[in-house]
Amino acid sequence: MCEPLECNATECRADEEKRWEDHSIELVRRIPSENERGPARHGKLHGMKVCSLLPSATEILFALGLGDQIAGVSHECDFPPEARTKPVLIVSRISHTENAAAIDRQVREFLDRGESLYSVDLAALGAIEPDLIITQDLCHVCAATPDDLGAALAHMHRQPQVVTLNPHSLADVCADIRAVARATGRSERANTIIAEFERDVAQVERAVASLPRPRVVCLEWLDPPYVAGHWVPEMVARAGGIDALGHAGEPSFRIKWETVFAALPEVIVLMPCGYGLNQVAKEFRNLALPDGWDDVPAVRNGRVFLVEASGYFSRPGPRLAAGVAILADAIHAGQQASLTPPGAGLVLARVAAAGT
């Protein structure tokens, strides 16, 4: 799993109460918590100008109380909503108006030519003269990397500090929170965030400890299908499931649908990288499902789920703890009360059993 190709967390929710007609889907509503709506406070290093080139870093900065010191963001930084008020420094060169297969083709064409998928607004970045830039080196497909910054940094009179994040596990996510906190003088606040993160994940683990552990397949892209990697298999394990295809700490990878079917998953979770729930539903509705889909145990038993990937699975930040709870609700649906904490509206949907 990597940073999103496309974020849709603020898309219109006017039609949330509708059922998607092509596939019967059961909706689960959540109410935003006060913590998610609360205002940011100044950090210890008041006046520091920070530019965040990836959504997860922006979320971490706001969680640390540094919203007022964020001077620039990427085009995908949309949480909390205040992030959208910041100057945009990164623009994707990929068109997101097409379907998943077309986006995948575009990405491959850029990579085959050795071209970056992102462009940095050099003039805007230079005008800001940031003290700190946060970027990532996890996935060159999904967010700007240090390479994309090279030309900009070469022409800047005063060189900023650059913090590069590269998480592969939940522990790495916590380490990245600490790294950002150290660079901004917010280590005490980071200790609180990490303690809450670990407490919330542990609560889910305890709640599902005595329940059966079904075989789970998580797909982070649908056309072509990709198995979710990095921190997602660990999330599945801690939510009380067995990831039938993913490998903890390792990148996502492309597979054939026949491989999904052969894994005999009892639960399937669809989490296209960077998509909001409505967009996941649209992509699934338009997907030409191959022969054999209806014979998969998860499909026969109505245990196929769509999730809000953008907020709770794609981005390696504090909300992954809520993602573990969302997974537990999908994996153990009907076996316990909901574990999902108050979140950002609609986060989970169930696809009906085949033939219904």
Q: How far is Cα 244 from Cα 259, in angstroms, rounded to an integer?
A: 10
- What 3-state DSSP class applies to 73? strand
pLDDT exceeds 90 at position 153: no
pLDDT confidence of residue 144: 53
CA torsion, ordered 278, 282, 284, 289, to nearest 10 deg: 170
Q: For residue 325, how many other CB atoms are within 10 A of its CB?
A: 26
More confident residue, 154 or 275: 275
> What is the residue whose two structure tokens read 């953008």?
310
| Share of residues in the chain with pLDDT > 90 (%) | 56
> Quick check: helix, strand or coil at residue 260?
helix
CA dist 53 and 137 (Å) reads: 11
Are 214 and 328 in contact by the 8 Å Cβ rule? The answer is no
* pLDDT recorded at residue 100: 67
Q: pLDDT band for position 4 (50/70/90)?
A: very low
pLDDT at 9 over 70: no
Task: Give per-residue pLDDT as tens, 56-76.
Answer: 999 999 999 999 999 999 988
Distance CA 71, CA 77 (A): 12
d(CA 329, CA 315): 20
Residue bearing the bigger pLDDT, 96 or 263: 263
What does the block give as tokens for 225? Answer: 């299908």
The predicted model scores a pTM of 0.81
Q: Where are the beta strands (DSSP E) in 166-204?
A: none
- Residue 71: the pLDDT is 97
Residue-wise pLDDT tens digits, 106-123: 666 555 665 556 678 888
What number is the average pLDDT over the span 315-320?
96
pLDDT at 97 over 90: no
The tens digit of pLDDT for each residue in 239-288 reads 999 999 999 999 999 999 999 999 999 999 999 988 889 989 998 998 99
Tell me the average pLDDT across 138-163: 67
DSSP states of 130-167: -SEEEEE-S-TTTS--HHHHHHHHHT-SSPPEEEEE--
